[in-house]
């Protein structure tokens, strides 16, 4: 059954797989690594343009390592999960400076790099160096769970062991890179999360989930994310032709990105200028400021939390004493600074966006 599965998968890939992506067939480990890091928790449709921009800006890993951090984060802006970008920068620097620009060529060394887990290490090892390591991304896990009718949660310790052993047993050891790409593509275009193409599936004859009518129930996840809400109020404090910003440095969302003056609360504030003026007095101390604009409520859904907040444009004659830790940046230079999507979404909707960006 396992040998038949692999044989049919390779035949489907050879005869019917038309999925095209710029990194398919790529042998440069740097480009493979870059594409895999970008595509973690990112749709291919969204990640494609980022990949192309990164390759254009940084053709080699030495180019990436030599780039200013702010420029790299600016290119990453909008992708989310900014720890990936932070690790990307750290690993590029390590390979460029400590490894003389040579990407590691064995699985364990690749796995030891910052920001690279078992799946990404297996992808790089098999695609770039044709080493027999099986990938187990979401597409692969879904295919295996359905075909073999496995109810073990894919995110449990026991489940991970089952799937890893099975994935390796199915791997075409002579063509591991080709097989890995085939089964990932198969999960993306045939065995899809919603509305899988079961009638067109070359594996349908032996698919246990199809036979038992449990396709919609698999794969199973054990852990449910507990989501919380956060209320962020951003004061866009303008002093003449400049605005106050700062870099987020705490171990929190959007680390290393920039933001305006922040006031965070535990709940949504009552609407109106009265409440805002009280907060402004607290944030700005005794500095006189005038309110120029108050935005509607904005929302952004992250994986584990909902961000809710507003943007309040203020005008000041000088930098308030309490905000000396913020950087005063010319409006015309803000385009060089990476901001989280929550902030850029607001700026892009304002008439001032043309001036700021």
d(CA 327, CA 350): 22
d(CA 131, CA 113): 18
Q: Which residues contact 319 (CB under 8 A, 6 or more apart)?
A: 237, 239, 244, 326, 328
Q: At what angle do helices 118-129 and 29-39 cross, to 10 degrees?
A: 150
Dihedral of CA atoms 33, 39, 41, 42 in degrees, nearest 10, equals: 160
Handedness of CA 269, 274, 277, 279 (dihedral sign): negative
d(CA 265, CA 229): 10
DSSP 231-279: EEEEEEEEETTEEEEEE--SSSTTTT-EE-EEEEESSPPPSSHHHHHHH
Matching residue, tokens 């004061």: 235
d(CA 286, CA 280): 9
* Exposure on the CB side of residue 271, measured as CA atoms within 13 A: 4
Chain length of the chain: 357
- Catalytic residue numbers read 36
Q: Are the C-beta atoms of residues 115 and 183 closer than 8 Å to each other?
A: no
């Amino acid at each position: 059954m396992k040998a038949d599965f692999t044989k049919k998968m390779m035949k489907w890939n050879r005869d019917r797989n038309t999925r095209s992506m710029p990194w398919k067939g790529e042998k440069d480990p740097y480009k493979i690594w870059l594409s895999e890091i970008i595509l973690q928790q990112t749709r291919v449709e969204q990640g494609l343009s980022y990949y192309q921009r990164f390759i254009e800006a940084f053709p080699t890993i030495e180019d990436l390592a030599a780039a200013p951090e702010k420029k790299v984060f600016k290119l990453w802006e909008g992708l989310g999960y900014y720890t990936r970008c932070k690790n990307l920068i750290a690993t590029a620097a390590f390979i460029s400076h400590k490894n003389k620009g040579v990407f590691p060529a064995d699985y364990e060394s690749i796995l030891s790099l910052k920001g690279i887990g078992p799946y990404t290490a297996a992808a790089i090892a098999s695609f770039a160096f044709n080493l027999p390591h099986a990938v187990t991304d979401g597409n692969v896990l879904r295919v295996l769970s359905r075909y073999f009718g496995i109810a073990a949660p894919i995110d449990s310790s026991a489940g991970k062991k089952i799937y890893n052993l099975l994935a390796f047993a199915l791997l075409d050891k002579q063509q591991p890179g080709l097989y890995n790409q085939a089964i990932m593509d198969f999960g993306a275009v045939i065995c899809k999360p919603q509305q899988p193409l079961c009638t067109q599936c070359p594996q349908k004859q032996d698919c246990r989930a199809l036979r038992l009518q449990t396709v919609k129930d698999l794969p199973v996840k054990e852990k449910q994310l507990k989501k919380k809400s956060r209320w962020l109020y951003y004061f866009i404090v303008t002093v003449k032709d400049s605005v106050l910003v700062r870099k987020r440095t705490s171990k929190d969302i959007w680390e290393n990105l920039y933001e305006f003056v922040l006031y965070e609360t535990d709940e949504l504030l009552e609407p109106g200028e009265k409440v805002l003026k009280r907060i402004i007095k607290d944030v700005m101390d005794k500095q006189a400021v005038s309110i120029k604009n108050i935005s509607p409520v904005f929302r952004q859904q992250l994986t584990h939390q909902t961000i809710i907040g507003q943007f309040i444009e203020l005008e000041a004659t000088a930098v308030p004493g309490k905000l000396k830790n913020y950087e005063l940046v010319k409006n015309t230079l803000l385009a060089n600074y990476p901001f989280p999507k929550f902030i850029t979404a607001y700026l892009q909707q304002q008439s001032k966006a043309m001036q700021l960006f």
